[in-house]
Amino acid sequence: MKIFLDDERVTPEGWVRAYWPDEVIALLETGRVEAVSLDHDLGDDSRGTGYDVIRWIEEAVALRGFVPPLILVHSANPAAAARMQAGIAAIANLANQKEK
Judge whether 49 and 76 are in contact, CB under 8 Å: no
Counting beta carbons within 10 angstroms of the beta carbon of residue 62, is it exposed (0 to 12), middle (13 to 18) or buried (19 or more)?
Answer: middle
For residue 6, give the CATH number of its domain: 3.40.50
Q: What is the mean pLDDT of residues 30-49?
A: 94
pLDDT of residue 39: 97
Q: What is the reported pLDDT for 44?
A: 87
Give this prediction's pTM. 0.94
Domain count, the chain: 1
d(CA 68, CA 90): 12
8 SS3 class:
coil
**Chain segment 41-88, per-residue pLDDT in tens:** 998 888 999 999 999 999 999 999 899 999 999 999 999 999 999 999
Domain encompassing residue 67: 2-99
* C-alpha–C-alpha distance, residues 91 and 68, integer Å: 8
DSSP H or E stretch at residue 90: helix 78-99
